[in-house]
Amino acid sequence: MEKRKKQQNKKNKILSIVFMPTFSCDCTCDYCFEINEPVTVKDDFWVKIFEAFRIYSEKAGFTKLRFYWQGGEILTMSPEQVKKGLEECTSVFKASGIHIEHRLQSNLIAYSSDWAPIVNEYFHGHIGSSLDFPNLYRKTASLDQTVFVERWIEKKELALQDGISVSVIALPNNQTFINGAESFYNFYLNKAKLKSIQINFPFIPPNSTFSNMPDMERFAQFMEELYGIWIQSDRSLRIEPFGKLENAVFHDDNCLTCIWSYCCAFSLLAIDPLGRISQCDCWSSSFKEHSFGDIRYQSIETILESPNRKKFLERPLKLLQNTECGNCTYWHLCYGGCPTRATTMAKNFFSKDPYCPVYKKYFLYSLKT
């Protein structure tokens, strides 16, 4: 079944869309890279958005679209609003032959059982969320970091009762490394009682006062230790990117995370509530000057020819030709990493991802193991 799914994925031409129908958020996380604005897609704009994608997908030959609903915070909208959007999408793509999938990302703080029918019907009964350990930066106006975690766990349990599974993105910080990989692992497995987590690599939001970047050396050490624990525990907790890397190396599965794809611009786009297209949510509100265009005034096909997008397309080859990435043993696993991290941390779009030392150590360790 797995093999058939892989083969099917190989035949499918898939476009992933980071879909941000709102910039509103109920959290005040210190490290957030988005600007919290009370901007939400208008009722009559849903159709315009989905029609623009339908026209483009038909021309470009995409057979599958994945809409990753994130914000802001989706749950700050009403279930009715979101349902309207989902229904408009279904209607627009009906008889197009293009397969549509929806995925939901939420901080879960505003979750209630009212959401369960929509999540179960449209989002495969699953919510992707975020939870750090230890939680130093995630909070709301009324919930400090500690209470935030408790509230989150409560909401997660509620979602589970409603038949909804939850996975998280975890952003390690320097305290994580001090606490150690074992306590990290135990927290997610036993305290948060999760089945799946994804480790992301934090970056400094532009124009932000937040500056607590992780220590690279300790991060690398942490990744090694965590990987070892993961293997020893027989992979009882699903951890990405560990699983995806193993699939890529041992099962020839080409589905590494976006930061390690050859060029994220090949198959990923973001659209904000006003119809502005950019590379992904990292660029959408923080780097408006890097936006590609606006579907209110242009077709997606034209927007994608924007010089701002061309940079994303050119970046991998430039890294290969002009930097140490071209000679790197791990080029096929990393391709120079994430342009967002290069831009925000190394201040150079055409430089390699500053997490390079962390990736290298992790790749070496996991390949040896």
Partner 1 sequence: MIVFPGNTRITTTPSFPVAGSSKVCVYDVNDQATLDQQCQFYKERLCGIELDAEKLERIKSLANIRISTLRICVSSLDDLHYIDRLIQDIKGKNTAVILKTGKDILRVVNYLTGFRIKILISPVENEIFIPVLDELIDFYMHQTTVRSPIEPFHSILQTMINLTRITLWDILQEKPGFDFYITGEGKITLSKRWAENGRYFGSTNQSWDTLRTDKLFQKIQNPNKLFFAEQSECVFCPHFTQCGGYFKIFNADADCKPWKKVFATLQEEIQNVRRILTEYGKTEKTAK
Binding site for partner 1 (CB under 8 A): 248-249, 252, 262, 266, 316-317, 320-321, 326-333, 335, 367
Of 39 and 320, the one with the shorter C-beta distance to partner 1 is 320
Q: Which residues share a beta bridge with 105?
A: 128
For residue 301, which phi and psi values (nearest 5 degrees)? -60, -45
Query: Which single residue is written with the structure tokens 């969320």?
Result: 129
Q: How many residues does the chain have?
A: 369
Smallest distance, Å, CB 308 to partner 1? 18
Burial class (CB in 10 A: 0-12, 13-18, 19+), 207: exposed
Smallest distance, Å, CB 220 to partner 1? 19
* Helix axes 356-368 and 216-232, enclosed angle (nearest 10): 30
Smallest distance, Å, CB 320 to partner 1? 5
Smallest distance, Å, CB 240 to partner 1? 18
Of 160 and 313, the one with the shorter C-beta distance to partner 1 is 313
Work out the number of other CB atoms within 10 angstroms of the CB of residue 73: 21
Smallest distance, Å, CB 61 to partner 1? 8
Smallest distance, Å, CB 146 to partner 1? 42
Of 248 and 258, the one with the shorter C-beta distance to partner 1 is 248
Smallest distance, Å, CB 262 to partner 1? 6
In angstroms, the Cα distances linking 318 to 67, 259, 321, 324, 351 are 30, 16, 5, 11, 9
Smallest distance, Å, CB 303 to partner 1? 18
Contact of 248 with 256, CB cutoff 8 Å: yes
End-to-end CA distance of the chain: 27
Of 175 and 257, the one with the shorter C-beta distance to partner 1 is 257
Of 178 and 313, the one with the shorter C-beta distance to partner 1 is 313
Of 165 and 267, the one with the shorter C-beta distance to partner 1 is 267
Smallest distance, Å, CB 351 to partner 1? 16
Of 331 and 349, the one with the shorter C-beta distance to partner 1 is 331
Structure tokens at 79: 């279930």
In angstroms, the Cα distances linking 260 to 62, 255, 331, 353 are 22, 9, 9, 10
Of 153 and 317, the one with the shorter C-beta distance to partner 1 is 317
Of 13 and 84, the one with the shorter C-beta distance to partner 1 is 13
